[in-house]
């Protein structure tokens, strides 16, 4: 159980750090990037809660959505930075 509590704390700590970054993103990026990042934070916090409640498989059960939400953030930021824009 201690390992799950440690994992839960690590997920929450990571979400806290990411939330600080999202605040900074919100200062310079558009709503789409901020929304994508906030949706990711919600998922991470839900995984942290599930781990804390003893669900050792919480990350495995959500890894598809985790990857998908990370992809949404990547697409939004690339759009924001016009990385894929052709000249």
* Token duo for residue 54: 């003893």
Q: Which residue has the tokens 């999202």?
A: 22
Q: Say if 86 falls within a structural domain.
A: no
pLDDT in tens, 42-75: 998 899 889 889 898 999 999 999 999 999 999 9
Cβ contacts of residue 40 below 8 Å, gap of 6+?
18, 69, 70, 72, 73
Q: Say if 24 falls within a structural domain.
A: yes
Whether this model's pTM surpasses 0.85: no
Q: Say if 51 falls within a structural domain.
A: yes
Give the span between the Cα atoms of 78 and 46, in whole angstroms. 26
Give the span between the Cα atoms of 18 and 35, in whole angstroms. 13
pLDDT of residue 87: 61
Q: Say if 87 falls within a structural domain.
A: no
Q: Say if 72 falls within a structural domain.
A: yes
Q: Say if residue 10's pLDDT is above 70.
A: yes
Q: How many domains does the chain have?
A: 1
């Amino acid at each position: 159980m201690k390992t799950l509590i440690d994992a839960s704390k690590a997920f929450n700590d990571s979400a806290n750090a990411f939330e600080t970054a999202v605040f900074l993103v919100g200062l310079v990026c558009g709503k789409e990037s901020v929304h994508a990042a906030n949706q990711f934070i919600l998922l991470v916090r839900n995984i942290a809660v599930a781990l804390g409640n003893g669900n050792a498989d919480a990350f495995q059960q959500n890894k598809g959505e985790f990857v998908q939400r990370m992809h949404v953030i990547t697409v939004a930021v690339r759009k924001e930075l016009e990385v894929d824009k052709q000249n």
